[in-house]
Amino acid sequence: MPQPQVGTPTTAAKIAKEDLHLDWAQPAVQLRRVIRLERAWTTFRGKRLTVLRADGGAEVEEEDRAGDSRPGLLRGTMVATGEGTVRLLEVQPESRSPMSAEEWVRGIRPLESERLGSD
């Protein structure tokens, strides 16, 4: 049976644009939470990149253990974070329409050492 709330109501602070800026040094779990809020963004080659959807999981973290894992390092659709990795699923480059992360990566042809958010 439902019960009435007790106490003084409170409101949450408004989410600012800077709260949605992705800091790749944060753990992957935290970054995926920010991405789920929508409008999360980072930069790539000096332009804003909105991350619309992302994923992660056990198999993603296994891949992260090998090789260079500097935060923000882009390997295909995988991005290294401070702890684990995030797989980009859907992005929206500045002044463009939303697209799958795979299409975006094919179009930009990233260099081996390029990182998100390093601009």
Enumerate the domain spans of the chain: 29-108
Could you give the angle at the alpha carbon of 80 between the alpha carbons of 21 and 51, nearest 5°?
Answer: 40
pLDDT of residue 36: 93
| pTM over cut 0.85 | no
CATH architecture of 29-108: Roll (3.10)
- The rounded distance, in Å, linking the Cα atoms of 104 and 71 is 20
Q: What is the model's pLDDT at position 118?
A: 75
Distance separating alpha carbons of residues 99 and 72, to the nearest angstrom: 20
Please name which of 29, 36, 70 lies closest in space to residue 51, comparing C-alpha atoms: 36
CB-based contacts of 110, cutoff 8 Å, min separation 6:
74
pLDDT along the chain (119 residues), means of 10: 89 90 94 93 95 72 56 92 94 95 94 85
